Amino acid sequence: MSAWVLPDHIADVLPSEARHIEELRRDLLDAARCYGYELVMPPLLEHLESLLTGAGVALDLQTFKLVDQLSGRMMGLRADSTPQVARIDAHLLNRSGVTRLCYCGPVLHTLPGAPHATREPLQFGAEIYGHAGLEADIEILTLALDCLKAAKLENPSVDLADARLVKSMLSGLSLGSAQLAALYAALAAKDSPELTALTRDLPAHIRQGLLTLVQLYGDASVLDEAQKALPPLPGVAEALQNLKQLAGQLSGVQVTFDLADLQGYAYYTGARFAIYAPGGSGALARGGRYDQVGAVFGRNRPAAGFSLDIKTLVSAVAARPLQAAIRAPWRQEPRLAAAITTLRAQGEVVVCVLPGHESEVDEFHCDRVLVESAGQWLVQTI
């Protein structure tokens, strides 16, 4: 095998795509800043026990592990930045009020999340800590949609669910971890025969509620059906009411519900959402409420957030036009050098054409040219 062949699901990013990714990164961070979110930069690797405590334990198989040559301790390359941001909120900032944080950086996965997915996503996300009310859920969902709007994603749709529906129905039951995992897997797969077998010894109203849950997906009428069909438990009623309120805050966006969507069930504690684009093969952004994320770090306070992979997002939006630029000749002439320096200081891209390369093209659209006229260097439109 050639030495320069990269590992599976790892790829170089070439100029056109790299420029688009970088422009998206800036746009997303600017959108988060407009909401008052502060940028943090967690390290790419940490001690393994820090990365995989609490909600991070679900990332164990996705985390690359290595031995620290300085301490001899096991370290991990982060597979998700959210546990790190929770650690920063809990231990480094330790603020008493609301904290809004955002981040953007690479994460590494031992296995791809989908057949053609990269194992090196560029993860962007935003987190809000310290407010238990629905207002935080609304803000984080609105920010996620505004970020996708900034990326020029057309016709996004939002799918809503709530982790409390299943947790409320199973609360108080003596179920082993293997049985719980099997129940969640059957619900997520909407496998009614398997779910029927797994719930045969559960109380009748709980069994019927779980079997009904797999049928509850579609438009807003799903919530009305759920109120009639699901057990009248406090957590169920609260979850359905929150979903109605969340959906009511969205205008100009298609909203659907899948009440058996259990992705990240061990992670989320309340309403959760996924945002899709027409023709896409999966969610472009996922988020919701995860109030337990900071518990392992000693601060079990409310939290909500979302994340997305900019590399996936860039493939779902239209390519951006080439960067406009000014073409200039290559000469060692002081007035020309001064003119180029002035233009670059003004934010213009000036590409100097090296001798013998006049016909070459690159990632810039040179729509103007720097020409000499009456002893002055002037910009002219091509």
- Annotated binding residues, written as ranges, equal 80-82, 123, 127, 267-268
Look-up of token digits 């109203």: 205
Contact 40, 32 (CB under 8 A): no
Q: Annotated binding site for L-histidine: which residue ranges?
A: 80-82, 123, 127, 267-268
Closest CA to 112 of 312, 378, 379, 329: 312
Half-sphere exposure of 30 (CA within 13 A, CB side): 10
d(CA 183, CA 263): 13
CA gap 21, 243 in Å, rounded? 33
SS3 214: coil
Radius of gyration of the chain measured on its C-alpha atoms: 26
Residue 57 contacts by C-beta under 8 Å, 6 or more apart in sequence? none
Q: Rounded to an integer, what distance in angstroms lies between the CA atom of residue 76 and that of residue 132?
A: 31
Would you say how long the chain is, in residues? 382
Rounded Cα gap, residues 51 and 255, in angstroms: 34
**Cross-strand pairs, 162:** 271
CA distances from 304 to 9, 69, 292 (A): 30, 36, 10
The single residue listed with the structure tokens 């077998």 is 197
Non-local (6+) Cβ contacts of 236 within 8 A are 164, 165, 168, 169, 209, 226, 230
Sequence-distant (≥ 6) Cβ neighbours of residue 259 within 8 angstroms: 161, 162, 165, 213, 216, 217, 222, 226
Is residue 349 within 8 Å of residue 379, measured between CB atoms? no
- Those residues with Cβ within 8 angstroms of residue 104's Cβ, 6 or more apart along the chain or in another chain: 25, 28, 29, 39, 122, 123, 124, 125, 310
